[in-house]
Amino acid sequence: MNLKNLKQILHHRFGGILMLYFIFIGIAFISRTNLFFQSFDEVSLNPLNIIWSYGAGLLMDTVAFSYFMIPFVLFLMFVSDRIFNSLIHRKIAYVIYFITFFILIFNGVSEYFFWDEFGVRYNFIAVDYLVYTTEVLGNIKESYNLPVLITGILVADIALTWMVVKNKYLAVSLESKSISKNRLRTGIILLLIPILSFVLVKNTTVEITKNRYNNELAKNGIHSLFAAFLNNELDYELFYTIQDNNENFRQLRNLLKSENSKFLNNNNPFDITREITNSGEEKRYNVVFITVESLSAEFMGFKRNKKADPSDFGGNVTNYKGNVTPALDAIADSSLLFTNLYAIGTRTIYGLEAVTLAAPPKPGQSVIKRPNNENMFSLGLIFKERGYRLKYIYGGYGYFDNMNYYFSHNGYEIIDRNDLKKEEITFANTWGVCDQDLFNRTLKECDESFNSGKPFLNHVVTTSNHRPFTYPEGVIDIPSHTSRVGGVKYGDFSIGEFISKASQKPWFSNTIFVIVADHCAGSAGQAELPYMEYQIPFIIYNPGLVRPQQIDKLCSQIDVAPTLLGVMNWSYKSKFFGKDILKMTEGEERAFISNYQKLGYIKNSRLTILSPQQKITHYKIDPQTGSMTTEAMDKKLQEEAIIYYQSANYVYKEKLDKWDGK
């Protein structure tokens, strides 16, 4: 198509929209190609998969543009020729298109960095990031050279606008005449496209290849963001395969029962409340519960050689051959160490949900960010019932992700960045104070609780192992703001220093330290749920109180709370779905993993994944190599997966997981 023919096509009231469409798909094509090469080692190079990524990608780009063009179409349908052809409108139009081009280019650049961090198009994380602008913008400012990026985007924007002006691509449209009836008819036809797209095309429509990267490439970032916003919370019974609830709960009782438990209500099949009885004297240990940001199991000594290879850590290590977790490895050697535990999700709030509520994840948003999350049956309230003082200690601002609200309405006092005095902060970034400052404040809170004569449960959440990976210089041998491996090693150093200082305290001899990651460092991989990336460490430490040993049972983050209570020999009423790992039999071993929409169930070297649109996939897995091979349905495991997830969702929906005391 030559320039003259193109101008003839654009010489129409809606020619500006057509021109914008060409630019939209052009930028999307460049962005897709950039992401393709960014993940070249991960994408499937099968020609059919590549063709699909680009062919289906063009469809999704068109769908995304159909939503994007709605305000333009509505304006063009009703504005008169007198206004449309005026000089002032022409000037305004160029300004609007200049701003639009900037938005499109900015989005393409943003997608690059989001993909670099998460290995996917925009999802619920991006939606949350639009809410928490202070932390997110601060993180971006500290992580990237914004002046250079913005300047580059502006230069590209100016060049694109200059091309449009020079070749009169927009001018020919602005000079066109139209009849009211014709522009209304054309506008209605154009508006039918987004309506049909909304009804017929979902963000998951293009997920047909076995390679997750190819599926993600086929999507459009703007459309993915729009879809994530709409599907922030998924109705399980509407989107997933379901079974009879009565039968589910009958089977669930069999799955949850144990030798030391007794169901308390046999008249109501939906009530899973049971009495857990542990023999021996109940221990009144203090507990410091440390949730470590993004600590994958692969960083730890039990998952790697002591001298790390750059291929470890999912490629997060660059030119570093040392041990990044010397303190934690030493602690683990003297601890009750669980080496085969899986995180339920990919964000901090999912990890916090799992370790406090001991229930499988729900599709969509975490319970911590949902309404009606007050007074839940939780680990904290079990401790509070026994007279413990509870504190949630966070180095950032706890309004982020609704953490302060959730913990304060489930028995905890809140200590966050607002409570730290100026002299207590030696270093901070947008996510919070450095881990050393956090742990120094934790020591003070432990002292204060101990001096008050009350036993305590202090839940501490770290932040230093998070982009921009900045921390005090000179503390470790990796410069600040270098890479995740530096964040890991600094966090490790801070925990080691904290334990060392705590060992000098009078309360240390009666305190156990629970160390567990909130989630792994990254969940990127070719598979729809790369299960090996969900492995995290779980440590219970105090050699004087807990006999050191290594437990290799397959288990889940939801088992952390029951296991802690088992270590303390507590007998208690439970509504937990999780189990005491130490008392698990071989047939009870299983794990749960998820990524907002896909719900995974691991058992017997099999992975069953429940997805929206009632889709279920089955894999045979090799925990040694991480391989996944599609296989035929295992009916028993499929039923178990549905029983757990559907029942957990039902319990939450019907508010059967509320605290009602003894």
Residue 2's pLDDT band, with cuts at 50, 70 and 90, is low
> Helix, strand, coil: what percent of the chain each, to 5?
50, 15, 35
* Alpha-carbon gap, residue 581 to 563, rounded angstroms: 6
Token readout for 85 is 């052809």
Of the listed ranges 120-129, 200-209, 533-542, the least confidently predicted one is 120-129
Mean pLDDT value of segment 448-463: 97
Whether 454 and 601 share a structural domain: yes
Domain of 160 in residue numbering reads as 3-230
List pLDDT tens digits, range 554-580: 999 999 999 999 999 999 999 999 999
* Alpha-carbon gap, residue 403 to 417, rounded angstroms: 13
Per-residue pLDDT at 311 exceeds 70: no
pLDDT at position 85 is 93
Whether 376 and 319 share a structural domain: yes
Whether 424 and 564 share a structural domain: yes
Whether 223 and 263 share a structural domain: no
List pLDDT tens digits, range 378-405: 999 999 999 999 999 999 999 988 999 9
| Cα pseudo-dihedral 395, 401, 405, 410, rounded to 10 | -90
Does residue 240 lie in a domain region?
no
Contact 583, 567 (CB under 8 A): no
> What's the distance, CA 592 to chain centroid?
15
Residue 308's pLDDT band, with cuts at 50, 70 and 90, is very low
List pLDDT tens digits, range 71-107: 999 999 999 999 999 999 999 999 999 999 999 999 9
* Alpha-carbon gap, residue 396 to 544, rounded angstroms: 33
Residue 279's pLDDT band, with cuts at 50, 70 and 90, is confident
Mean pLDDT value of segment 133-150: 73
Whether 216 and 274 share a structural domain: no
List pLDDT tens digits, range 231-254: 666 678 877 999 999 999 999 999
Number of domains in the chain: 2
Whether 225 and 250 share a structural domain: no
Of the three residues 176, 202, 230, the one that is the final residue of a domain is 230
Does residue 659 lie in a domain region?
no
List pLDDT tens digits, range 98-121: 999 999 999 999 898 888 877 788
Select the more confidently predicted residue: 523 or 205. 205
Q: Is the peptide bond before 468 cis (omega within 30 degrees of 0)?
A: yes
Phi-psi map region of 439: left, alpha, beta (phi>0 left; psi -120 to 50 alpha) = alpha
Per-residue pLDDT at 130 exceeds 50: yes
Contact 408, 381 (CB under 8 A): no
Whether 282 and 156 share a structural domain: no
Does residue 215 lie in a domain region?
yes
Burial code (b: 16+ CB inside 10 Å, e: under 16) for 409-438 equals: ebbbebbbbeebeeeebebbbbbbbbbbbb
Does residue 238 lie in a domain region?
no
Closest residue by Cα to residue 368 from 346, 391, 352, 390: 352
Whether 264 and 389 share a structural domain: yes
Whether 176 and 295 share a structural domain: no
pLDDT at position 318 is 41
Residue 421's pLDDT band, with cuts at 50, 70 and 90, is very high
Per-residue pLDDT at 302 exceeds 60: yes
Of the listed ranges 20-34, 307-321, 610-624, the least confidently predicted one is 307-321
Does residue 661 lie in a domain region?
no
pLDDT at position 466 is 83
DSSP 212-228: HHHHHHTS-HHHHHHHH
What is the rounded end-to-end Cα distance, in angstroms, of the chain?
Answer: 77
Does residue 628 lie in a domain region?
yes
Of the listed ranges 134-148, 269-283, 357-371, 604-618, the least confidently predicted one is 134-148
Whether 226 and 257 share a structural domain: no
List pLDDT tens digits, range 37-65: 999 988 999 999 999 999 999 999 999 99
Mean pLDDT value of segment 484-492: 94
The greatest distance separating any two alpha carbons of the chain, rounded to the nearest whole angstrom, comes to 89
* Alpha-carbon gap, residue 102 to 89, rounded angstroms: 20
Token readout for 551 is 């437990």
Q: What is the mean pLDDT of the chain?
A: 90
Of the three residues 199, 230, 261, the one that is the final residue of a domain is 230
| Cα pseudo-dihedral 28, 32, 38, 44, rounded to 10 | 170
Mean pLDDT value of segment 269-277: 95
CATH number of the domain to which 588 belongs: 3.40.720.10
| Segments in 399-464 forming alpha helices (H) | 403-408, 435-451
Does residue 236 lie in a domain region?
no
| Residue 159: HSE in the Cβ half-sphere, 13 Å Cα cutoff | 7
Whether 249 and 185 share a structural domain: no
| Residue 179: HSE in the Cβ half-sphere, 13 Å Cα cutoff | 3
Does residue 235 lie in a domain region?
no
Residue 229's pLDDT band, with cuts at 50, 70 and 90, is confident
Whether 470 and 585 share a structural domain: yes
* Vertex 266: Cα angle to 260 and 267 (nearest 5): 165
Coil, strand or helix: which one is 465? coil
Per-residue pLDDT at 124 exceeds 70: no
Of the three residues 177, 204, 230, the one that is the final residue of a domain is 230
